[in-house]
A = this chain, B = another copy of it.
Amino acid sequence: MSAGDPNGRPAAGPGRPAPVELGAAVLAANRGRHAFEDCVERLASAIRLGAFPDGSVLPPERELAVTMGVSRATLREAIAGLRSAGMVKTTRGRGGGTVVVHAPLLPGAGDASRLAERRGELMDALVFRRVVEPGACYVAAGRSLRPEQRSVLTDALAAIESAADAAAHRQADSRLHLAIASVTESPAIINAVTSVQADLHDMLIAIPVLPVNIEHSSAQHRAIVAAILGGDARRARRTMESHCDDTAALLRGLLT
């Protein structure tokens, strides 16, 4: 190991420590692509995951640009992209009439062929999820939640139970997971869960939904929310771990 690093390049001199592969691993890119594509993808994810349900209004462009850390010009390009994809409509003038969500919610729109190319990324998302989402539950249960935060959780839970079809159920599901993350009030946790749920969503819409799985999931969701509201951090985390494990087992078979 002192002869060279794992990349095969020899160390420069006899006395110099080998960099191991730690260095390369630490510097991996997360700055993906252009701001424009990034913006489109994040908006599309937010909509697909139910953060902006069908019929809701996006924040004003100027405000949204600040939130997302891009210029208004770039944001407008992204919105134009979503518009031509049929995800949003735009009206002018004062008041709520700005950009409205028009979620397609196509059931079974899963493009399973593309998933194979992203296999590594998606498998990693399952590993990371198993760490982050139970952690979010632990943190959420440890906080003293305000009444409206408790409502966000119970409302999201109720929305799952009353989902009309499979697509609506899928969206309500991810919405609950995002809601749990949001009540932690930790930007880092919210960001991690959002990223994980986006990948998870791509996988879940590609597999058929079995009623038995849905009922099992719903029971876990109820237990998780109850544990969070009751302040039982360990139990909330443990239940979410089981939930992640079950979903992961279901999905790992999907990608060979």
B27, A57: Cβ atoms closer than 8 Å? no
Contacts of A127 in B (CB 8 A): 139, 184, 186, 188-189
Copies of this chain present in the complex amount to 2
Residues of chain A in range 131-161 having any CB-CB distance to chain B below 8 Å: 131-132, 134-136, 138-139, 148, 151-152, 155
Q: Which residues of B contact A26 (CB under 8 A)?
A: 45-46, 49, 51, 178, 182, 190, 194
A80 interface hit (Cβ, 8 Å) = no
A and B contact pairs by CB, cutoff 8 A, 30 listed: A10-B96, A11-B57, A12-B97, A16-B55, A17-B56, A18-B56, A19-B53, A19-B57, A19-B58, A21-B182, A22-B179, A23-B46, A23-B51, A24-B67, A25-B178, A26-B49, A26-B182, A26-B194, A29-B68, A30-B191, A124-B186, A124-B187, A127-B139, A127-B189, A128-B188, A131-B131, A131-B132, A131-B139, A134-B135, A135-B135
